[in-house]
Structure 1
Amino acid sequence: MTALVFDGMKLLDLAGPFEVFAEAARFGARYELEVRSSDGAAVRASTGMRVPVDGDVDSATDVGTALVVGGDALPTSPISAELTAAAAALSRRAARTASVCTGAFVLAGAGLLDGRRATTHWQHARLLAAAFPRVRVEPDAIFVQDGTIFTSAGVSAGIDLALALVERDHGEEIARSVAQSLVVFLQRPGGQSQFSPSLALPRPGTPVLRQVTDAVAADPAGDHSVTALASRAHVSPRHLSRLFRQELGSSPSKYVEGVRVDAAIRLLHAGQSVTACAQQVGIGSPETLRRMFLARVGVSPRAYQQRFRTTARDSATVLDDEDLVEP
């Protein structure tokens, strides 16, 4: 296992997976861990911590897995040719290649994701898709495998990916033992959407469509049937549906559903019950909100609220209708 590091790297992107592989060794797995930079010089992480390396990429042998970590600057700053060349060279020496978080931008810059499915941190998934149109980005995935290439979501998702690799290499029992020892999920429930503060719905460029989406955002619980929205925009329902598909890749009803779930997320953050959220955002029943939440966020509203409630809140849980719904 050889990790490629660089100045500005996220320390957890390296430490998280390496702790998984090191812990796996306690249960009988065999991994040799090393850290390399493009030129063999030590690097500084985003924390300012100095990270020593075992050498440069060109001297790496028996790589096994090439792991490219992420960094805050990768999505918004030019990636050096030296870094992408190092990633490509390390990948050629490896049986499989993986990235953590925004390390996917390095793999994409090296051409290693062309024609492949991939993921990255939810904040940067759209940017990855726009910057590298040959990459099929899956924004909600915790990690994605396409052939011998693995990409993972933001920061701690590198731990999820490392556990999956341990399971592939040495079986479920060892992977479960590692997860239990590190007190993490062997398989994290839900996707990345649950970690986003909102669904980050796209904003249209066409003025007539922007007028409609702004009205929906201003009053999620209002009457937003296709007929009502078309009347507001002074176009036919058919034409409005066509505009939604062309600009937003969605039907009007699915867009409204997304806005309502987004509004429910904010209310859950504020401590509202699932029943109250459903009523206030125009969804109606907690059962309907639960179905929408599972489809869009990957977890139920109650599970989401418990996962992201403030640490200052009392741990006691007040039951509401959503707790009575069978899974």
Structure 2
Amino acid sequence: MAERRVVVIGYDAAELLDIACVTTALQMANAEGASPCYIVRLAAPGGRPITCGTGLTLQVQESLERVIGPLDTLVVVGGIGHEAAARDRSIIGHVRRLARESRRTASVCTGAGILAAAGLLDGRRATTHWQWADTFAARNPDVVFDPGPIFIRDGNTITSAGVTSALDLTLALIEEDHGPELARRVARNLVIYMQRPGNQAQMSMFTTAPPVADGLVRRIVDHINGDLSADLTTATLAVAAGVSERHLTRLFLRHVGRTPGRFVRQARIEAAAHLLATTSLPVAVVAARCGFGTAETLRQAFVDRYGIPPSRYRSVNSSTSTSTSMSASKDTVATTAMSTSRA
């Protein structure tokens, strides 16, 4: 193959960052010696300039109606105009046509809704911006929307989460095409510390405060986050709350959106992820401090949640150097979690 033809489909009120993340990363790959190189074109209905959701206007290189395959990669972006685009029969028809003529098809953010409207995600697992996952799932019962991962590959179709996850998606495509070293060079040029694995969570319970308006639930959440290594079974938590296990479960489902057991497990996994990424503590110590007991129990939890073991998670996400102090205490995790639960 002399070149890899990539067409990015835009439309009025598309998200500028969705477009720029893809096009900039691919052009940087070219500058770093990608061979075959990427020929990247932005296409839109009628070949007309598009006004992005930010109000800025972009010139396009191709009329969507005139693009013909074969293509290496077709990318459909998201943006506040995605719903209008998904209702546009012409856009949907051309997305469907070009997908058949492409080696792989990808979407960024709410662009997944356009792929779904074209029937390209039927029977597949997909992701999108977490705020839209439930809406898209309700509209497209034949698609399994998972709001967790940064991106998901199902066959020759790749869907990514919100906005800047387009960088993670594009780096993964570059690595697939040209190997990890080129992808790492592009990441360095983009001043991205490290590629994130596709199944890393979009949102963390430590960065999105749970709706703990109920005083009793808030107290138990603080109790959990105060010592993740303690006995935190539902029975023990119910005793601490002075209510029955059944009533505590009902309160957690109503105010936190998950059972006490699931809340504890997520808190422990995310606390462990935080320690793995920010300290040099041995995995066994991380496991003990976060309530997993053994390194093997932690490993199983990480494989279930992230699809990779703790050691791999650390190598991909660590922001520490070899000189990082190993004296981080569980207070670091508790403080982070407790400040969130009180937000």
TM-score normalised to the size of structure 1? Answer: 0.68
Equivalent runs, 1:70-85 vs 2, <5 Å = 70-72=78-80, 74=82, 79-82=86-89, 83-85=91-93
Kept after mapping to 1: 8 A contact 2:21/2:166: yes
Alpha carbon RMSD of aligned pairs, Å?
4.8
181-190 or 106-115: bigger deviation: 181-190
Aligned to 1:311: none
User: Is the partner of 1:53 in helix, strand or coil?
Assistant: coil
1:80-118, Cα deviation, whole Å (9 max, x unpaired):
223333322321232211111121111112111111111
- The residue type paired with residue 159 of structure 1 is L
User: Is the partner of 1:187 in helix, strand or coil?
Assistant: coil
Equivalent position to 2:39, from 29, 32, 37 = 32
Equivalent runs, 1:39-54 vs 2, <5 Å = 39-54=46-61
The whole-number CA distance in structure 2 between the counterparts of 1:286 and 1:228 is 17
Aligned to 2:284: none
1:54 Cα deviation from its structure 2 partner: 2.3
1:259-317, Cα deviation, whole Å (9 max, x unpaired):
6778x79x99xxxx9xxxxxxxxx993575995996768989x99x997xxxxxxxx98
- The residue type paired with residue 50 of structure 1 is T
TM-score normalised to the size of structure 2? Answer: 0.65
The whole-number CA distance in structure 1 between the counterparts of 2:217 and 2:137 is 23
1:139 equivalent in alignment to 2:147: yes
1:66 equivalent in alignment to 2:74: yes
Aligned to 1:94: 102
The whole-number CA distance in structure 1 between the counterparts of 2:250 and 2:290 is 31
Change (3 A) 1:201 1:37: same
1:16 Cα deviation from its structure 2 partner: 1.3
User: Is the partner of 1:84 in helix, strand or coil?
Assistant: helix
Equivalent position to 2:195, from 177, 182, 187 = 187
- The residue type paired with residue 25 of structure 1 is N
Change (3 A) 1:200 1:116: farther
User: Is the partner of 1:66 in helix, strand or coil?
Assistant: strand
Equivalent runs, 1:167-182 vs 2, <5 Å = 167-182=175-190
The whole-number CA distance in structure 2 between the counterparts of 1:148 and 1:285 is 41
1:200-224, Cα deviation, whole Å (9 max, x unpaired):
6998xxxxxx998677447545986
Equivalent runs, 1:204-243 vs 2, <5 Å = 216-217=220-221, 220=224, 225-227=233-235
- The residue type paired with residue 144 of structure 2 is R
189-198 or 128-137: bigger deviation: 189-198
1:15 equivalent in alignment to 2:20: yes
1:166 equivalent in alignment to 2:174: yes
1:151 Cα deviation from its structure 2 partner: 0.8
Change (3 A) 1:58 1:177: same
1:5 Cα deviation from its structure 2 partner: 0.2
1:320 equivalent in alignment to 2:327: yes
1:159 Cα deviation from its structure 2 partner: 1.6
- The residue type paired with residue 147 of structure 2 is P
Equivalent position to 2:127, from 104, 119, 128 = 119
Kept after mapping to 2: 8 A contact 1:216/1:256: no
Kept after mapping to 2: 8 A contact 1:193/1:199: no
Kept after mapping to 1: 8 A contact 2:108/2:128: yes
Aligned to 1:206: none
Change (3 A) 1:199 1:254: farther
Equivalent runs, 1:175-324 vs 2, <5 Å = 175-185=183-193, 187-188=195-196, 191-193=199-201, 195-196=203-204, 198=206, 216-217=220-221, 220=224, 225-227=233-235, 252-258=260-266, 285=289, 288=292, 320-322=327-329
Kept after mapping to 1: 8 A contact 2:152/2:198: no
The share of aligned pairs that are identical, in percent, is 35
- The residue type paired with residue 47 of structure 1 is T
- The residue type paired with residue 2 of structure 1 is V
- The residue type paired with residue 285 of structure 1 is R
Change (3 A) 1:217 1:42: same
- The residue type paired with residue 42 of structure 2 is V
The whole-number CA distance in structure 2 between the counterparts of 1:212 and 1:260 is 21
The whole-number CA distance in structure 1 between the counterparts of 2:62 and 2:169 is 25
Kept after mapping to 1: 8 A contact 2:48/2:59: yes
Q: Which runs of 5+ in 2 are unaligned?
A: 1-5, 280-286, 331-343
Kept after mapping to 2: 8 A contact 1:122/1:139: yes
Count the aligned residue pairs. Answer: 297
1:318 Cα deviation from its structure 2 partner: 7.2
Kept after mapping to 2: 8 A contact 1:40/1:57: yes
The whole-number CA distance in structure 2 between the counterparts of 1:16 and 1:250 is 34
Aligned to 2:282: none
Change (3 A) 1:183 1:211: closer
- The residue type paired with residue 39 of structure 1 is G
1:70 Cα deviation from its structure 2 partner: 1.0
